[in-house]
Amino acid sequence: MIPYDKRSGKIWYNNELVDWQDVKVHVLSHGLHYGSCVFEGERVYDGSIFKLEEHTDRFFYSAERLGFKIPYSKEEINLASNKIISAQNVQNGYVRPVAWRGSEMMAISAQQTKIHVAIATWEWGSYFDPNLKIKGIKLNISNWRRPAPNTIPWDTKASGLYMICTLSKHEAEAQGYTDSLMLDHEGNIAEATGANVFFKDKNNDLHTPIPDSFLDGITRRTVIEIAKSKNLKVNERKIKPDEMSNFVGCFLTGTAAEVTPVSQIAQHNFKVCDTILDLSDSYQKVVRNKKAA
């Protein structure tokens, strides 16, 4: 795989299209040292960004929660996002808008720092190995927990929130798993390291944690809409880890993960059942502007 700093083409950087390898961030940027950085992850399907406006809305909300203002309008960011996928000729890939505080100040306070914005895009296939997605991926249970909602801006895509996700995923991979399930501060099931989680019971009802200390994913909301259109009951509630033995199916949802079946979480095994495969197929139809089954 080509390292991301060695790729070619253009990146939208502070309202200019800059050669990919010429985009620079100073080592003393506040965003690097103190985590004052927000981002989005968006998918391109057949040359179009799925739910671009919703992602941009969340991008601005995340910045506001971290106390800084993105120096462009939402319309300008939407136009820039479409401009860069056109410049890069990305048909089926990923878009990464990112905004961060610059290097004018180097301490906790950052009132006078410049806000930088960049948008990059590249062709990108499945987040998980396609063969694993067919069989279902395996997760361990992380030792790290999602923090209490009064300790972090939990409803944002702020870079600092993902540090424990990286630690969790690395530990899972070292143990032979694909990803890790994280619990919340109360010990309830929360999410995977970069995706929301759903379970299916023997009555074909779905259960998913209430997103009150972790991100309510755009893909999560889309899949709930699809499920309800199929007359599947969706229960949003607190879920204890020991309840997993009562479920027969499990899957993850996320912009990168899309709809990914899970075959195992720690000692709990799940079937990659028709209901989950049908939701995955219907999601693909929705994102490609085709009629869902």
Q: What are the helix (H) ranges across the chain?
A: 30-34, 52-65, 74-87, 130-135, 163-174, 218-229, 274-287
Copy the structure tokens of residue 175.
């143990």
State the Cα angle at 93 between 87 and 98, rounded to 5°.
75
Helices (H) and strands (E) in the chain, counts: 7, 16
Cα dihedral 217, 222, 226, 232 sign: positive
Q: Indicate the residue type of 87.
A: A
Q: Which residues contact 32 (CB under 8 A, 6 or more apart)?
A: 25, 100
State the Cα angle at 214 between 209 and 217, rounded to 5°.
80
Closest to 35 measured CA to CA, from 151, 192, 131, 159? 159
Copy the structure tokens of residue 247.
């479920």
Active site (catalytic) residues: 157
Which DSSP category does 208 fall into?
A: E
